[in-house]
Amino acid sequence: MIRELMQAGFRLSGQRDPRLARGLVWIMAEALFTALPYVFVYYLLTGLFEGALTGAEILLFAALMLLSVVLRILAGIRGMPLVFSGAYAMMAEARLRVADHLGRVPLGWFGQQRGGDLGARLTSDLELVEHIWSHFLGVFVSGLLVPVFLLLFLFTIDAQLALVTLITIPFALVTLYLTQKRLTRTGPRLLAAGSHAQAAVQEYIQGIAAIRGFGRFGWAWSRLESTLDEHHRAQMEAESRPAPWLAAFGFVLELGYLLIVVAGAGWLGNDSIGTADLVTFLVLALPVYRQLFEVGLSTLLLRFASRAMARLEELLQQPVMPEPSSPSVPVDQTIEFDQVSFGYDKQPVLNHLSCVVPANALTAVVGPSGAGKTTFVHLIARLWDVNTGSVRIGGVDVRDMSRDTLYQQVAMVFQDVVLFSGTVMDNLRLGRPDASYEEVVAAAKQAYADDFIRALPNGYDTVLDENGGSLSGGERQRLSIARALLRNAPILLLDEATASVDPSAESEIQRAISNLARGRTVVIIAHRLRTVQDADKILVLDHGSLVEAGSHDTLMDLNGLYAHLWQQQQRAEDWQIGFCAPSETAL
């Protein structure tokens, strides 16, 4: 099992750190020096029982035992840091590999995962595997080799009594196997319950505002409590079901000690074994059995680690969007959709859609909810791959570009702004880490964000909390626009950036977007049609198909879907909540 776990770890990290192998060699040496003092104890006891030891020889044996202890400590000091550093380096590489792999998985896969389960794999599962590699591996090797060395030495003293020492070990291994079988049944339930519990806690915390707003504390708490109760039951089952067999494993293993006493006493009576030999067996048998018991316990932990490793390997087995072997570079920023069809889980979203988005112009994508607008811009950025047809930039299919080439071409600003834990400066430099301080400030000024950033406690060095929760929606959106300005990509994809902000922030954000759009190919998803009536081109989508295209005036003359949506929004803007005062007769 340890071999399988090591191979899985090498696959997960994609490398073999040489420090790990060197460290294990030192750990083997440590195990040898741990067993060596018992050899000197035997010869010391033999000499004492025979009365043939001088004071100088006793001091010599004491010195040799002390030297063994010192060498053991030195080997451990040399070996364990190598094991730790090698294991941590491999697991750090494993984290990077998993993160890089997930960065190339289609976004649709994430929508099918529970956040808590994915979070559990990337945190608790990885931590368990890292703990096994860093803390357990060296201890396991040492714990296994010490009894092996001691048993080999016992065979040199008396082979018959050494065989008696081994009699119960096969039976103990059977009980250990049965213990592992019980864990095999309870382990998956515990891991699943842990993932569900983490997801439930995360959902409860994230939904606290909605729970308060609707007064559903009792209902929400009952759901959370039910999930946590299931986790508790799974933990209790995982602990209690194997417990009797684990106790039996220890009992059967140390039953060998009783057999040594009985057999040794009999052979001592007929002079088949010496007193010093029997005392040595009685002294060494205890650490042999105790070490084997600890190794047995460790193999149970390996079961959990192997399942955690399998769950992580599943992530690396998720198919990624392929990279071209000979990537191409676009000649301009003209965007073409050629008979594009796309759907999520066999639910069609776009149907044989063909259109052209001109370079260096503002193109708006409009339509009713569910028309496929967001999918349209996501396919340009290759967040998904089309099912059929092709999306081309500058005459090159986006699938024939390298990731770096594509993302040098495209910048995105969406409604749901994502900010990371770190300083304002770190968040603004996300798309361009090498930007100077002056360049960052210039971009922030163009996004009308400089004033509120400087008003923060530490200005650009202010550390933001999770997703910038302390900032208003307008402030977060302006940071997103500043980030895109700093990126300076020639193609800009916008999901109505002002749809979720208050009117006081809307005008500044509109001006920031105007700065951002200047001299670029811009594709904007528009929910408020009045914001894009001056667009160079408007694409009208409905049920995944392109139904109209043209300027605002052209589309209004067609009196089709666009004109209908425009009229609806005009009526909605004129609408206001009516209030009827109670009549005097009603009073």
Query: For every one of its 587 residues, what pLDDT tens digit does the chain have, with 9 covering 90 and above?
Result: 566 666 777 777 777 888 888 988 999 999 999 989 888 888 888 888 777 778 888 899 889 999 999 999 999 899 888 988 888 888 888 888 888 888 888 776 776 666 566 777 777 777 777 777 777 777 778 888 888 999 999 898 888 888 988 888 888 888 888 877 776 666 667 767 776 777 777 677 766 666 666 566 676 777 777 888 877 877 777 767 777 777 888 888 888 888 888 888 888 878 778 888 888 888 888 888 888 888 887 777 676 677 777 778 888 888 888 888 888 899 899 999 999 999 876 788 999 999 999 998 899 999 998 888 988 998 998 888 899 999 999 999 999 998 888 888 888 887 777 788 788 998 899 878 888 999 999 888 888 888 889 999 999 999 887 667 678 878 888 888 888 888 888 998 887 665 555 566 566 667 777 766 777 898 998 888 887 888 889 999 999 999 999 999 999 999 999 999 999 888 876 665 554 555 444 44
Beta strands in 288-446 (DSSP E): 335-344, 347-357, 362-366, 388-393, 396-397, 410-413, 422-423
Q: Is residue 587 part of a domain?
A: no
Domain range for 360 = 335-564
Query: Do both 409 and 485 map to the same domain?
Result: yes
- 228, part of any domain: yes
Residue 321 in any domain: the answer is no
Q: Are 362 and 370 in contact (CB under 8 A)?
A: no
Give the distance from CA 335 to its chain's centroid: 35
Beta bridge partners of residue 545, listed in sequence order: 542
CATH of the domain at 253: 1.20.1560.10
158 lies in a domain? yes
Cα(23)–Cα(138) distance, integer angstroms:
8
Q: Are residues 181 and 258 in the same domain?
A: yes
Claim to verify: residue 51 and residue 158 sit in the same structural domain: yes
Residues 76 and 200 in one domain: yes
Boundary (domain end) residue, out of 288, 316, 344 = 316
Angle subtended at Cα 47 by Cα 46 and Cα 50, rounded to the nearest 5 degrees: 85
Q: Note whether 377 and 465 are same-domain residues.
A: yes
Q: Quick one: 253 and 350 in the same domain?
A: no
CB 532 within 8 A of CB 526: yes
Whether 366 and 224 map to the same domain: the answer is: no
**569 in a structural domain:** no
3-state SS of 214-233? HCCHHHHHHHHHHHHHHHHH
SS3 content of the chain, % helix, strand, coil (to 5): 65, 10, 25
Please tell me whether residues 357 and 404 are part of one structural domain. Answer: yes
Q: Which of 62, 40, 67 is nearest to 284 (CA)?
A: 40
Distance CA 290, CA 348 (A): 63
Residue 203 sits in the same domain as residue 342: no
DSSP string, 140-153: HHHHHHHHHHHHHH
pTM of the full predicted structure?
Answer: 0.65
Number of domains in the chain: 2
In a domain, 573, yes or no: no
Assign 355 to helix, strand or coil: strand
Q: Do both 434 and 301 map to the same domain?
A: no
User: Which CATH number characterizes residue 523's domain?
Assistant: 3.40.50.300
Q: Does residue 570 lie in a domain region?
A: no
Instruction: Classify 311 as helix, strand or coil.
Output: helix
Provide the 3-class DSSP secondary structure of residue 171. Answer: helix
Q: Does 360 fall in a domain? A: yes
Out of 268, 286, 316, a domain closes at: 316
Do residues 179 and 152 share a domain? yes
Q: Report whether 360 contacts 519 (CB < 8 A).
A: yes
CA distance linking residue 313 with residue 97, whole number of Å? 11
Q: Are residues 353 and 254 in the same domain?
A: no
